[in-house]
Chain A
Amino acid sequence: MGDRDHPDYKILVVDDEPDLERLVRQRMRRHIRKGKYGFEFAGNGVEALEVLREKKDIDIVLSDINMPKMDGLTLLQQIPEVNSDLRSVIVSAYGDMENIRTAMNRGAFDFVTKPIDFTDLEVTIERTLRHLDEWRAALASRDKLVAIQNELDVATKIQQSILPDTFPHVDGCEVYGCMHAARNVGGDFFDVINLNAGRIGLAVADVSDKGVPAALFMMSSRTLLKGAAIGVEDPSTVLREVNDLLNETNDAAMFVTVFYGVYDPSTRVLTFSNGGHNPPLVVHPDGSSEELELTGGLALGAIPGFEYGQASVRLSPGDLVIFFTDGVTEAIDVSNEEFGLESVQDLFREPPTPTAREAAEMILRAVKDFAGEAPQFDDLTCMTLRVADE
Chain B
Amino acid sequence: MNVQVEHHDKVLVARVEGRVDSSNSQDFERQLQGAIGEDVNAVVIDLGQLAYISSAGLRVVLLVAKTLGQRNVSISLCALSDPVQSVFEISGFNRIIQIYDTQADALAAAG
Contact = CB atoms under 8 A, between A and B. Distances in A.
Interface of A: 184, 206-210, 252-255, 257, 275-279, 294, 296-299, 302-303, 326, 330, 377-378
29 contacts: A184-B22, A207-B55, A208-B55, A208-B58, A209-B25, A209-B59, A253-B59, A253-B62, A253-B63, A253-B66, A254-B59, A255-B62, A257-B55, A257-B90, A275-B92, A277-B90, A294-B90, A296-B95, A298-B92, A298-B93, A298-B95, A299-B91, A302-B92, A326-B55, A330-B54, A377-B21, A377-B22, A378-B22, A378-B54
Contacts of A255: 55, 58-59, 62, 91
Given A257-B91, A298-B93, A298-B95, A210 B66 contact: no
Nearest to A207: B55
Contacts, number: 65
B79 to A, nearest CB: 21
A296 B90 CA distance: 9
A302 B92 CA distance: 10
Nearest to B60: A253
A302 B62 contact: yes
Given A255-B62, A377-B21, A377-B23, A206 B55 contact: yes
A161 to B, nearest CB: 23
Contacts of A206: 55
Contacts of A275: 92
Interface of B: 21-23, 25, 54-56, 58-59, 62-63, 66, 89-93, 95-96
Contacts of B21: 377
A299 B92 contact: yes
Contacts of B66: 253
Contacts of A278: 90
Given A208-B55, A254-B59, A298 B90 contact: no
A279 B86 CA distance: 12
A298 B91 contact: yes
